[in-house]
Structure 1
Amino acid sequence: MCGIIGIISTRESKRLAELVVSCLNRLEYRGYDSVGVASLSDTVLEVRKAKGTVEEVIKKKNIKEMSGYAFLGHTRWATHGPPTDYNAHPHTDCGNSIAVIHNGTIRNFKELKDELQTLGHKFKSETDTEVIPHLIEEYMKRGMESFQAFKSAIRTIQGSYAVLAIIKGERRIFFAKRDNPLVIGLGDDKTFIASDIPSFLPYTRKVIVIADGEIGYVTPNNVYIEDENGNPVDVISRIKIIDWDASSASKEGYPHFMLKEIHENPIAIKDTISGLLNDIDRVKEIAEEIRNAERIIVTAAGTSYHAGLYFSLLLARRGYTVMPLVASEYHSVRAKKGDIVLAISQSGETLDVKMGIRKFKEEGAKIIALTNVIESDIARESDYKLYMRAGPEIGVAATKTFTSELVSLKFLHSVVERESLDYLEKAHEIVRNVITETEGFAKKIGEELANKNNIYYLGRGLGVPLAMEGALKIKEIAYIHAEAYPAGESKHGPIALIEKGFPVIFINTGELVDELEKNLQEMKARGATTYSINVNERLNFSDNEIVIKSDGRLAEIIIAPIVQLIAYYAAVRRGYDPDKPRNLAKTVTVE
């Protein structure tokens, strides 16, 4: 996820540079590893960009001194190529006449890049985005006028995108959207177009939301839009007046970032799978290392540990020697040559994980990193790196990044086992439907649990890591004491705490259902109030249940957003801010 902003005015001015900077500051939550700006005047297209935060790059590159009648601004969350000056957006064509910024992932960029290079195009970055200005340039060389060339370029790319482009000699900003947000703001003598409304909210409340598949251009006082069939859209009928304040708008209408990010699970899943398919050769190489390893150590902390435990169980079932390891306990394990260490960290900066992989590397192990932040410390220090591409996560409690970790590990396991990946193709749509269908039930359960002081989460098999994550979520944002166990283990001590009304949540992934049902009956016999989250096969006698009929191979990915929603609504009912849980930080960089 990146932040993009375009502004076009009736007259050339340095004032537009100040507006772009103001908009970028409000977009920085969407990405913060590099920043860039392009300005267009009658004679010059200028690009200034660098690695760093908005504040750092604005000062370093004197962005406020730029002048023009059209500006593009971009704040990046790296998905292809590390965060560097040359990978920062905007990207240009060979003749420096076209500048493009992009939020999304282009699946076929490698093939397009190879083809364009054979045609003589010179590339300056490692990003997928750079193919777009070169495609526009190539189509214009073939005689197309600028808008037709832009449309042809967009038709050529595959994937998700929100794209803005400026072309020397044109007083227009071209745009296209698929799967990533894009909205137009209508001012008196200028037009804005951006990833989200809050970027330009101080300057106009009159907006047009761009729909999927639409393409067009804006001028200082005109908007032209075509639908994906090439039919012109009635722009006037689409204008809306926004009455949000800036804080609410940045959450796109959601009361908290956490809820917004739970609802972003489907796009995170889609982008993760798309990114891994683009990196399939690397995934296959990593899979081969895992197949040949004497032992696999999976190390992570917190939520990432639960994802790692899930992967460990998948491998153990296939006969691999695998050890899930809480990262802070790295000193308890000695690695050796022939071992593979899989280190999982959303931030790529978790200190316990870093210290562990350094020790294990010295002892002869090879390191595989799975992170969400491109070229983070853990990724750089590893022999192999995979990226989950969930985009930046503002809420402290992990939501879409956990689901993205599960998808990444499920994908990797399927490659290890040489299984077809077809079952993942519709995963994002399935999860989107699950969130829509179950949110009301999750809210009811969460609000009931808000009145409790203790909770058990129980599961069997692959349900155990999901039970652990459910317990962690409700602890960290609703401050309710919760514990997770393999359901069979509940008989060996934990059941002693059960009394009338004690809440017990069963995670039922559709395996070992008979055994799980016996555990539920044991709890009910002692007065527990039982809840069950079920994929395909329901548990009889549960007091409260959510049942999802779907592809059982995606059970854990389906259940993840449900336990997140339960925790969210419990926290809200208790009057807590789920985005900022007490005593916690997004990235743990202390021992």
Structure 2
Amino acid sequence: MCGIVGAVSTRNIVPILVQGLQRLEYRGYDSCGVAVHEGGGLQRARSTSRVAELMSQVAEDHIEGGTGIAHTRWATHGAPAVHNAHPHFSHGTGADADTRPGRVALVHNGIIENHDELRAALQAKGYVFHSQTDTEVIAHLVDSVYDGDLFEAVKATVRQLRGGYAIAVFCKDEPHRVVGARAGSPLILGVGQEGAGGASGGENFLASDAMALAGVTDQIVYLEEGDVVDVQLGKYWIVDKAHKPVTRAVRTVRAHSGAAELGPYRHYMQKEIFEQPRAIADTLEGVIGIVPELFDGQPREDGTHVAAWRVFKEIDSVLILACGTSYYSGCAAKYWLESIAKIPTQVEIASEYRYRDSVPNPRTLVVTITQSGETADTLAALRHAQSQGMTHTLTVCNVATSAMVRECELAYITRAGVEIGVASTKAFTTQLAGLFLLTLALAQSKGRLSEAEEARHLKAMRHLPAALQAVLALEPQIISWAEDFASKENALFLGRGLHYPIALEGALKLKEITYIHAEAYAAGELKHGPLALVTSDMPVVTVAPNDALLEKLKSNMQEVRARGGVLYVLADADTHIQSEEGLNVIRMPEHYGELSPLLHVVPLQLLAYHTACARGTDVDKPRNLAKSVTVE
């Protein structure tokens, strides 16, 4: 969601800016733009199409410069339209403010909560607004306090902002200078190398994601909450939230852009579904035994880290905070944590938890789950929990350098690799793998996991990649189902127990990329309302593993059939459910016990994918959605 790239160099920086935007396209966006310092003034191009169209516009208009900023926007304030696209310019005041070129160019991720009152104050000073965005307010505000020093102007500006933001800004009066600031949204500094790419004088960069700078620099400084950074040729300096000078560590981060190659697949989502056996294998690589040390904190600058075994000994409950797909992985983990580790577990939607009164317990392990590690609501919920005195924190995250990993005591880094498709697939299954390991580690630390049980679980986990390959082989049968679903506008998903969260995830996948309205229910709730919706036009997908709830689930299926509903059942081989009129069955290759959710979700991913293909939707970039949700 929203991407920033900025640069200061002696060469034409526009190709790097636009290439950086291309690497951030996977996050989702509805407009894009670039602005540079050229000939003593500002020049920009903006588009509501894809970055490829922006590239053509840049070439046609001969936009070149050594200092610039670029942005992909996911609309919050104002519709997706060129006049709302970033970068925004300030336009000064007075009678000719509408036409006079501005002196400040700015891009922004996040939401400014007090933009209305700031807008009113600026309009009273004579500023004219050309967009409905909260971002243009910041550009005018910087202009209003500018007195020859952009760094000081930005520091004065951020003191007046309420909300979340990452900004990059430059001024026509100060060539070779870009200033950035962050609070609640990620922003990094890329330190260039002398002479790189034909540049001289030491170019430097800003970006919202290290991937934007892949192949440009691998020397990355992660800005902390409240930091303001002044970026110039061959130098930079940073002040913290109190505006005191501070030094941040330079880390070597190799963000491989090659991970984003599509290869022989039609879409990234399809590629990522089929990458799951390898992603699970990578996530479990090096796991020889179940030990708390798997979850140790990341090394600090002084070389120390928090030891997980000490934390695990102290906690007596678990609180899981997450959003979207990650929330459903947490719901599945609750079943494991309570049945295997015998630890009371609560799962909360992050955006709800932070705004309600709750009863804190300092002996709780707060577990955050996030693919990007930058999800705004989950970060805010983490900080809220910490402010309540719950300091034992652990994240299951796919990005080792993310804010979430830096702010939590403990971490388990999944190894899903870069996930381009907005609808999460391999990130979800690797989260489940990490959460199952956490369950076993907690059970062991509490003396509730015998050696025989540990050996059995480890054997099952090592079998997962092969088991996933067998499930992927079911694709032709799932394509047949997708042909039926393509003409539908509603669908119902049912599951019981541990597989109810998998039904929720299946419904989410279908609605995300096919735009078919889909709902999921615990199957026992069918007669408490949803049964009223069942007709022959409402396909009912049922997750039916051979577990203790199977016979109850069969009764729920009969309730559907008695109302003329058509069932699509994912059944284990030994469930004795046979295909017949109105009852379509795909048999899973084997029964997977406690790990069954990781396997049963894959056919649901494929069903959503192939239904979307049949309906002709934009699979990887579904409308109105973004990959990394960095605003509330």
Q: Contact 1:536–1:552 at 8 Å: present in 2 too?
A: no
1 CA distance for matches of 2:460 and 2:507? 29
2 CA distance for matches of 1:291 and 1:382? 17
Per-residue displacement from partner, 1:253-306 (whole Å, max 9, x unpaired)? 111111011111111111111165699624385466456423211110000000
Residues 1:559 and 2:600 aligned together: yes
Residue 383 of structure 1 is matched in structure 2 by 409
Residue 524 of structure 1 is matched in structure 2 by 561
TM-score by structure 2 length? Answer: 0.56
2:544 to 508, 519, 528: 508
2:383 to 358, 367, 371: 358
User: Which residues in structure 2 correspond to 1:285-434 (within 5 Å)?
Assistant: 286=308, 289-290=311-312, 292-318=314-340, 319-330=342-353, 331-332=355-356, 333-365=358-390, 366-418=392-444, 419-420=454-455, 421-434=458-471
Distance change >3 Å, CA 76–CA 586, structure 1 → 2:
closer
Residue 266 of structure 2 is matched in structure 1 by 255
1 CA distance for matches of 2:376 and 2:16? 33
User: Which residues in structure 2 correspond to 1:211-250 (within 5 Å)?
Assistant: 250=261
Distance change >3 Å, CA 315–CA 582, structure 1 → 2:
same
Residue 143 of structure 2 is matched in structure 1 by none
Residues 1:576 and 2:613 aligned together: no
Mean Cα displacement is larger for which, 418-427 or 368-377?
Answer: 418-427
Misfit runs of 4+, over 4 Å = 24-32, 55-61, 124-129, 275-280
Q: Compute the displacement of 1:424 (Å).
A: 1.2
Structure 2 unaligned regions, length at least 5: 1-12, 28-185, 200-208, 212-216, 223-248, 297-306, 445-453
User: Which residues in structure 2 correspond to 1:75-94 (within 5 Å)?
Assistant: 85=219
1 CA distance for matches of 2:422 and 2:430? 16
Residues 1:495 and 2:518 aligned together: no
Per-residue displacement from partner, 1:383-441 (whole Å, max 9, x unpaired)? 11111111111111101100111111112212223323232112112212221x21111
2 CA distance for matches of 1:484 and 1:414? 28
2 CA distance for matches of 1:527 and 1:518? 15
Residue 270 of structure 1 is matched in structure 2 by 281
What code does the residue aligned with 1:377 have?
A
Q: Compute the displacement of 1:558 (Å).
A: 1.0
Residues 1:466 and 2:506 aligned together: no
Q: Compute the displacement of 1:85 (Å).
A: 3.0
Give the secondary-structure state (helix, strand or coil) at the position aligned to 2:271.
helix
Distance change >3 Å, CA 540–CA 430, structure 1 → 2:
closer
Distance change >3 Å, CA 30–CA 478, structure 1 → 2:
closer
Question: How many positions carry a matched residue from both structures?
Answer: 391
What code does the residue aligned with 1:258 have?
M
Distance change >3 Å, CA 513–CA 28, structure 1 → 2:
same
Residues 1:549 and 2:581 aligned together: no
2 CA distance for matches of 1:291 and 1:461? 28
2 CA distance for matches of 1:459 and 1:291? 34
Measured on the aligned residues, the alpha-carbon RMSD in Å equals 3.8
2 CA distance for matches of 1:125 and 1:280? 29
Residue 537 of structure 1 is matched in structure 2 by 574
2 CA distance for matches of 1:447 and 1:275? 41
2 CA distance for matches of 1:326 and 1:308? 10
Distance change >3 Å, CA 299–CA 556, structure 1 → 2:
same
Mean Cα displacement is larger for which, 574-583 or 272-281?
Answer: 272-281
Q: Compute the displacement of 1:498 (Å).
A: 1.1
Per-residue displacement from partner, 1:536-570 (whole Å, max 9, x unpaired)? 43362551111123333431111122111100011
Q: Contact 1:295–1:321 at 8 Å: present in 2 too?
A: yes
Distance change >3 Å, CA 57–CA 383, structure 1 → 2:
closer
1 CA distance for matches of 2:477 and 2:367? 36
Per-residue displacement from partner, 1:101-140 (whole Å, max 9, x unpaired)? xxxxxxxxxxxxxxxxxxxxxxx999999xxxxxxxxxxx
Residue 94 of structure 2 is matched in structure 1 by none
Distance change >3 Å, CA 522–CA 252, structure 1 → 2:
same
User: Which residues in structure 2 correspond to 1:147-166 (within 5 Å)?
Assistant: none
2:295 to 271, 275, 283: 283
Q: Contact 1:488–1:519 at 8 Å: present in 2 too?
A: yes
What code does the residue aligned with 1:547 have?
R
1 CA distance for matches of 2:471 and 2:369? 26
TM-score by structure 1 length? Answer: 0.60
Residue 63 of structure 1 is matched in structure 2 by 196
Give the secondary-structure state (helix, strand or coil) at the position aligned to 1:407.
helix
What code does the residue aligned with 2:584 have?
N
Q: Contact 1:276–1:408 at 8 Å: present in 2 too?
A: no
Give the secondary-structure state (helix, strand or coil) at the position aligned to 1:404.
helix
Give the secondary-structure state (helix, strand or coil) at the position aligned to 2:602.
helix
1 CA distance for matches of 2:309 and 2:612? 40
Per-residue displacement from partner, 1:192-228 (whole Å, max 9, x unpaired)? xx958x9xxxxxxxxxxxxxxxxxxxxxxxxxxxxxx
Residue 40 of structure 1 is matched in structure 2 by none
What code does the residue aligned with 2:532 have?
A
What code does the residue aligned with 2:561 have?
K
Q: Compute the displacement of 1:381 (Å).
A: 1.1
Distance change >3 Å, CA 31–CA 387, structure 1 → 2:
farther
Structure 1 unaligned regions, length at least 5: 1-17, 33-52, 67-74, 78-82, 89-123, 130-180, 182-193, 199-249
Distance change >3 Å, CA 562–CA 87, structure 1 → 2:
farther
Aligned-residue sequence identity (percent) comes to 34
Distance change >3 Å, CA 454–CA 298, structure 1 → 2:
same
Q: Compute the displacement of 1:525 (Å).
A: 0.7
